[in-house]
Amino acid sequence: MPARHPDASRGRLVKVVYKNTRPGLQDIMRCYYVAHSVPGRLRLRPLRVCMADSAITDALSTAFPGADIRIAARTGSVLITQAVSAAQARSLAPVRARNPVPGKIRSFFYPRAFVFAVAVLRSVPYILKAIGTLLRLRLNLEVLDGAVLLVCLLQRDFRSLSSITFFFALGEFLADWTRKKSRASLTESLSLKIDKVWIRKDGIDIQIPFANIQTGDHVIVRAGSALPIDGTVLEGDGMINQASMTGEPLPVHRKAGSSVYAGTVLEEGELVVAATRVGGNTRVKAILRAIEESESVKASVQARYERIADAIVPYNFLLSGIVYAATGDPTRAGSVLLVDYSCAIRLATPLNIFTAMREAAGCGVLIKGGKFMEAVAQADVFVFDKTGTLTKASPVVVDVIPFGGRKRTSVLRLAACLEEHFPHPVGLAVVRASDAEDLKHREEHTSVEFIVAHGIASNWHGQRVLIGSEHFILEDESIPVTPAQQKTIKEEAQKGRSLLYLAIGGELAGIILIEDELRDNAPAIMQALRNDGVKRLIMLTGDGEHTAAAIAARAGVDEYRAHMLPGEKSDFINSLKKQGYKVAMIGDGVNDSPALSAAHVGIAMNEGADMAKEIADVVLVSGDIAGLLLARRISRAALRRISVGFGTSLFWNSIFLTGGLLGLLTPGVSAFLHNATTAAIAVSSVRPLLPEDTDMMK
């Protein structure tokens, strides 16, 4: 039987039991169910449209004074934040389809006439819905259900009518239960279950409600506690388990200056954290919102199977009519109507997709909908940004070459002495390299001048010292270069390294070689993708030709394009699409956003810009490009399971249909076997897709 989810577009009337509903909420709670609730956040989803938005807002404002209430125009869902306590959230029992089994057991002790009367009453909504659908000139599953019940009523076959309405209710209950179980397990690891927190204010530690935390508060986190906010460590030292956020199994060290995120757990130590994002603005809440909204993004396989489901319905009626015309037996005709091939399609397909999303999220890969899951599985061209994607976006000093008889250590020491005054990525790399070699330096230079986009100038022992780019040192300042020095510079530039020039007293004193480190597993991941059927691996970068060529060779990509502007990246993606390729784009910066949007599936690194993560269809929360392989494996496993479920449904329902045609199965037995098969396929859909010991590199 078809899956009937609480959906406003279907307008289903659901009988539900609420507890502790307070005045002002009763009307709303007849039309909504609680989709998600934690302290400080409550989301309601519509069962049906029953009142204007203004009336809903007024009633909820009375019930939750001071709360932020937002109604989504597209879905009709209501989000209540900021002023929802744990008690208020618990006071609204989540809506669920009622389990019909206890009532069926009790019915054996009721008079038969009473049981049949209840069955008639339960069938009326289905029949009315079928009539309404027909009046809209549509022939779908709702019409099929209503027709079956109407045939039983006309034949006065109340026994079959009772059985069919029971199995309809059982199917609804199982569909609701499996979907809620899947959604709950997906969000369980990310939800914060915190009622009170400790903060430090004016040197005093006080405990406040979780919902009262504000940006800037100094939150105290002790060993064994989950972090309630995103923030920066002010004091303390600790080991944090970030598995819920990144998928990393081992805890990571965090100290003053480190960033930490809500939902992670402090295993050792104690931290004082300055809150930068609280409540609905934390990174974990952003992931939860993406999960909640992703159900509306269907895979094309799901949409295709749903179209097939509705397309089959007319043939059910045609075959039933032929059977009745040939046999004159309404019982056989009714048995044919009860067995349709579409129920498992409608129920199992979204469950499989949601299960795959849940499993991927648990492994550090956030997929925002079934459509994108299918695109990941089918992509045959992977296009990578360089910085922050194939590389770590963390420059390091790989060598120092002195000139003019100077010592390597003296060049590095002086460069660090200048760069520490104006911290930027390259400057910090120089300072870190100096610290790693324990090169102590005294302040022997005068005041320093930072020249934007060029370098630094100062005076040292009566000599003018300069450090910066080739353009600044060799062109603007006209520092001479010998043929031997020029040869060395050219050789190092061809290796794809960035060069930082140091000049002292009008002479070139040395060059510092900087590299953006390649991710350790990048070559292995490229080969694994190639083995997985990817036709082309391409790197796009705004860097120069030498740097691009060097990184491409080390990473193991097939092709590269240098000097690429953001618009040119998206144009390149569109050209690949026109050639018939299924394109996946992986990037992390604002400049990658147009290309991420243009690709069939955009994949963002978790450390990247917020805009890139918003636009992307998939986010590698773990920050590891190995997640690409895992996403493909999970997505393909889900698509295979959908196909197997469809084949299983086709096989067994064909047998049941044959039994009905031969008069071996009554409508009641047909309903039982058909719904039992659908339920089994649905429950099977929430099983894990991959073994627990899955190796992403296999």
Least confident of 21-35, 76-90, 224-238, 284-298: 284-298
Q: Which tokens belong to 63?
A: 């019930």
| Residues 6+ positions from 567 with CB-CB distance below 8 Å | 594
Q: How far apart are CA 220 and CA 227, in angstroms?
A: 9
- Range 5-12 contact pairs with CB under 8 angstroms and sequence separation of 24 or more: 5/175, 5/176, 5/179, 6/33, 6/45, 6/46, 6/47, 6/95, 6/176, 8/46, 8/47, 8/48, 8/49, 8/75, 8/76, 11/48, 11/49, 12/47, 12/48
Mean pLDDT of 210-216: 82
**Interval 621-645: pLDDT, tens:** 878 899 999 999 999 998 888 888 8
- Band (pLDDT 50/70/90 cuts) for residue 20 is very low
User: How high is the pLDDT of residue 350?
Assistant: 73
Within 13 Å and on the Cβ side, how many CA atoms surround 685?
35
pLDDT at 229 over 50: yes
Q: Does any domain span residue 365?
A: no
- Band (pLDDT 50/70/90 cuts) for residue 508 is very high
* Closest listed residue to residue 568, CA positions, set 547, 591, 544: 591
What is 459-484 written as a DSSP string?
A: EETTEEEEEE-HIIIIIIS-----HH
Residue numbers annotated as active site: 385
User: How high is the pLDDT of residue 403?
Assistant: 93
Tell me, what amino acid is at 23?
P
- Other CB atoms within 10 Å distance of the CB of residue 231: 27
- Band (pLDDT 50/70/90 cuts) for residue 5 is very low
Q: Does any domain span residue 125?
A: no
**Interval 554-566: pLDDT, tens:** 899 999 998 887 7
Least confident of 32-36, 41-45, 146-150: 32-36
> Which of 287, 321, 344 is a domain's end point?
287
**Interval 66-86: pLDDT, tens:** 677 777 654 567 877 765 554
CA 687 to chain CA centroid, nearest Å: 19
Q: Does any domain span residue 593?
A: no
Least confident of 182-186, 344-348, 431-435, 445-449: 182-186
Q: What is the total count of domains within the chain?
A: 3
Mean pLDDT of 231-239: 87
User: How high is the pLDDT of residue 441?
Assistant: 64
User: How high is the pLDDT of residue 101?
Assistant: 53
Q: Does any domain span residue 153?
A: no
pLDDT at 661 over 90: no
Mean pLDDT of 110-136: 80
Q: Does any domain span residue 101?
A: no
Instruction: Decide: 574 and 592 in contact? Cβ < 8 Å.
Output: no
What is 624-657 written as a DSSP string?
A: -TTHHHHHHHHHHHHHHHHHHHHHHHHHHHHHHH
Q: How far apart are CA 104 and CA 124, in angstroms?
A: 19
Q: Does any domain span residue 468?
A: yes
- Other CB atoms within 10 Å distance of the CB of residue 90: 12
Q: Does any domain span residue 547?
A: no
Beta strands 230-241 and 259-260 are antiparallel
> Which of 230, 254, 287 is a domain's end point?
287
Q: What percentage of residues in the chain have a pLDDT greater than 70?
A: 70
Q: Does any domain span residue 362?
A: no
What residues make up the domain containing 436? 393-517
Beta-strand runs (E) in 469-623: 498-504, 507-518, 536-540, 559-561, 583-587, 601-605, 618-620
> Which of 44, 75, 91 is a domain's end point?
91
pLDDT at 182 over 60: no
Which of 44 and 534 is assigned the larger pLDDT? 534
CATH for 267: 2.70.150.10
Q: How far apart are CA 277 and CA 262, in angstroms?
A: 9
CATH for 481: 3.40.1110.10
| Residues 6+ positions from 439 with CB-CB distance below 8 Å | 409, 412, 413, 416
Q: How far apart are CA 28 and CA 663, in angstroms?
A: 48
